[in-house]
Each structure stands twice: as C-alpha cells, then as structure tokens.
A and B are shown apart, each in its own frame.
Chain A
C-alpha cells in the first residue's frame, strides 16, 4: 500500500528555502548559535569557578577552538560516509580498550589511559561516539523496528566496550556508553515489551549486582548519597558543600565571583564536575534556569534535526546523541544537587576539561552532518 510514497520522503521545509552559505559549509546555524551561547556562558562561570584564573579560561578557550574545528570537520562528511566508517571506528576502539587493559596507565587504582608518547589518551572517549554510530549503522541497514535477533546483536555491540570499560574500572563512563547504545535501540523503535522486560530484569538483578559486582568505593558513593551526613568530613563533604553552595545562591545568587562556597574552596572540584554549584551559588536559580533553557533549546533543535534526517542512520544517531547529551546534563546536575551518586560526569560544555568537550562537539558535528545532508530531491 505504501509502494508509491515510500520512495518519496516528505520534503517540505528545507527544500523550499534556497541553500545558503551555512548549508554549503555544513553548519546548522541555530544549533551553532545555541552552542556558542552555552560556551560563552560556561566560560563566564569557569572564570569564577577557577578562582578568577584567566589562564583557565584561555585553556578552556583553546579546547573549544579545537572542539569547534573538530565539529566543523566532522560535519563535512556525509552521514553515508560516517555510516560506512562506523564499524571500523568501533573495531579500532575495542582494540584500543583491550590495549588499555594490558599496557594502559592510570591513577588511583584505575587504568584508563593509553600513553602515546607523552600524550595521554582515553580510548573510552572514542566509544562514546563509536557505540551509537555503530548501533545506528547496524540498525540503519535493518528492517525497523528491530526484532529480537537484531536487538541481541546490538546488545553484544554495546556489551563488549561497556564490559571492557567497567573493568578499568570506570562504572560511570561504562554506563553512559551503554546508555548511548540503548538510546539508539530505543529510537529505532524497539517494542515496548522488550523495554518493560528489560526494566523488570534490571530491578531484579540489582541485588546480586550490589552483592558481587560493585566495588566498595562504588557502594560507598551510593551509601553516601543516601545519607551524606554520615561522613561529614569524608565522602559526604562534597555533597554537603555543593548543596550548601546551590542552596545559598537563592533566587538571584551571590553575584559573579562572589560565591563564598566556591571562592573559599569549600566546594570541591569547583571548576570541573561541580561547576554547576558555582553557577547556582553565584547566579542563583535564575542562572540555573537560563542554563536549563539553553540546554533545552539545544535538545529541541537536536530532536528537530533527528526528525528531519534523511536516513535511518541519521535518525538513530541523532536520537542517541541527543539523549546521551541529556543524560550528561541530568546526571551531572542531579549528582551535584544530591539527587544521584557522584559518578564523575562533567557538566557538558561548561565543566573544564578537554576531551569531553572535543567528544561532545564531535557529536554535534555528526548532528550537523545529518542536518545538512543533501536532500533526496523529488524527480
């Protein structure tokens, strides 16, 4: 019944407008604009959070320069190509993760890095994009919604890197990567019965996981979350101090660079994972709302790009990247506010740190590639 229409995607919006410079450069202007606003906001907060260090801001600025360039480069290649490269990138990533397990370097009991002649590199970063890309590649070439066989194959694709990363050990990253793959399956239209089944399985496997899988420090994090007051000077200190910072910001905040919690070092990791507490303290709930608003607009634009993608690959990838981006936001803002355990997830595009920014911006590069893919023109 759909023989005629299925070849003809409904192409109304974009094609009616003449392709401009932005399209020629493979840049999604609304998304770029929003990202620039967020970047600027983040740098303002970082200046204060780093103890008013212009050096920290310039360093972060350099990362952003690299990241924007990376995004631009990524956007130049069509989703068709990215789709073709996806499994190879995935294979490379898995090999590197195996290498980490044998020759990796690390700190504090975790072995996460490869030392490439002075340049330290975390292969799990590759996987943050390679997994959703590979899922999108795999499912994009299948009949959708995916059947049990394909779902099983996807779970294997997800489990291999997730398993390697959880052994490093890096539970937080492993969960995020697994989530990005699962989002791909979800956006591909997996049946609800699988989702509900998986949710029930997860609930009933929580107890054995607690007993046998989690390391003591991971359990400690969860316990501390449940009762931060139990260890005021140790594990609970961070959460108490960050909640105090956020709460004392009130509606309008203490003013830029005037946050006592952050400026007087009560706040741990104030320029990295806990930077939202600095923002909340100094700009108040007002500032938090502005940040959430920016994030929401970015998410809406990303969803919009996904809805208008030309291929299954592009759609699944967009959905996956967008939802993963949101998970970063939620986990970070939730953990700093004491809703979730402290898992070491940066606040996307605001926290200081090079690799996460580059990875995230590369993800947005993929979105732009999808957004500016050449339309299949009617006739």
Chain B
C-alpha cells in the first residue's frame, strides 16, 4: 500500500506543480494586459493586440499615433521591467536563502542594494554639485559590483567560503555604505528628495534601454539556476553533508553568490531598492508547493513577476502623489504573508 502511496504522491506533486505554473502564467498575462490598458489614458485591448502583432510582423499598426506611443514607449517597457525585476528579485531571494542556509536571507542580505544605493547617491550628488551628468544606473551597477567584490574578499578564508562569514561581511559593508549614503544625503542639501526617491524604488519612466539591461540577465541566470537546482537543494542540508554528496560547496557557493548578486545588482540599479519580493515569494512557494529548487525557482520567478506587476499597476492607478511601488509591495504582501504564515502554523 505504501509503495503505491509514494508514487501517487509524486504524481500529485507533479500535477500540482504544472497547475500552479499554468495558473501563474495565465494570471501574469491577464494582469499584464489589464495593466497596459489602465492608467491616465484608457486603452482598448484590441489596440494592444494590434501593436503587439504589428511589432512582431514589422507592419505599421493601425492605431492612433499617441496611443501607439503610450503603449509602446511608456507602458510596455514599464510592465516588462516590473515583470522581470519581480522575477529576478524572487529568484535571487531563493538562491540566497539556499546558499546562506538561512530562510531569513534575501537579495539584500549581503549589501548589494546598499552598494547600488551608494553608487546612485554618489552619482546624484556629483551631478547636483558639479552640474555634470553621470548616469545613475551605471553608477549603481558599479557600486553593487564593488560591494560584491569587497564582501567576497572579506568573507573568503583561505579556500573556505563560509555562509555565516558572508552574512557578517555583508552586514559590515552594508552598514558602512549606509553611513556613506547618509553623508551624501546631507551633501545634497535641499535636493535630498532625489536620493530618497531613488532608494525607495520606482518603476515609473522606465524605457527600452532599461529592459535591455534587465531582461537578458534575469532570463539567462534564472535558467542556469534551474539547471543546477539540485546543488542548491543539497547545500541546504549543510556544508559537510553537501560535500559528502559530491558538491564542491565553496565553488558552488561562490558561483551562486555571484549569479544572485548580478541579478540583484541589475534589478536595483534600474529601479532602486524594492524590498520584500525576494524574501516572501520563495517562502510562499515553499509553503504552497515544494521546497525543491527545480520547481521552486520557476514558480518563484512567475510569482515574483506577478506580485511586482500587480503592485506596480496599483501604484500607477492610485498614484495621487506617485506612491513608490515598494510601499505597495509591502502593504499588499506583508499582511498576506502573515495570513499564510499563521494559517500554516495552525495547520501544523
């Protein structure tokens, strides 16, 4: 009877995975379409399809010039950015939780976001003071990568690459950089708002040049993580067990740390620090479906995309004072997470 039971359960798990995947994918497409149509200017769904088909086949779409411009130059890049940034943050959250063997880890644990904030704040301050134009996205990317490099340098101890060392190094570097950001805010004087809003994170005014930075990196690194997902599972059992199962823990941790950090760096550089997605999305998927990374990563990717896209749509709709999307992700996501968490604990 037990024999039959295990096979049946494996089959049920597989069906559940496919159903959740299909549901998330469908919802994502629907929310995406709704999101394109909604905003300051109402747009017909048929116009959206006309633009998509026209762009795919290279024909001039039969849509008014201003509507075409709004759909193609404003809403599409914003929605695609929100989708892939949500995906990237959720995937890197799942990666960081596994490699640091810590369910409380998120993409910002090792200070990549503070590094990016520091870079961006420095660029904003320099631009203000000297009246030059240094692009904030590039500065944020540089800041994020330098931070990663320093954290790795501090955390490495000979050949070993211990998870708690990475967390400690991250916290130290992050604190120092936060002070730096604080200093920059003072230097910026009455223009401090520019820095504050950048750090809070926003998806407004994203263009195709942002899409080009975010999309390829998120897609490539997510696919790579799914391919090596079994290693991530095994690393969650602890370094020694993982080593005895044939995983070169130090190398794997270094590679995943870099992959997760690159995804985070790109996302943060483009849209600022959007918190919470990277922490809760992998948890929810673990609660609902499975902890196995082979399934967890693709589902987290889709759910992260959905969460951020929905939050951003709401941010657009109710933007009396252009509410930063991070406030909404936390406002919607936080109570929802508490609800799921409490229900799960009571159920146990």
Chains A and B are bound partners: no
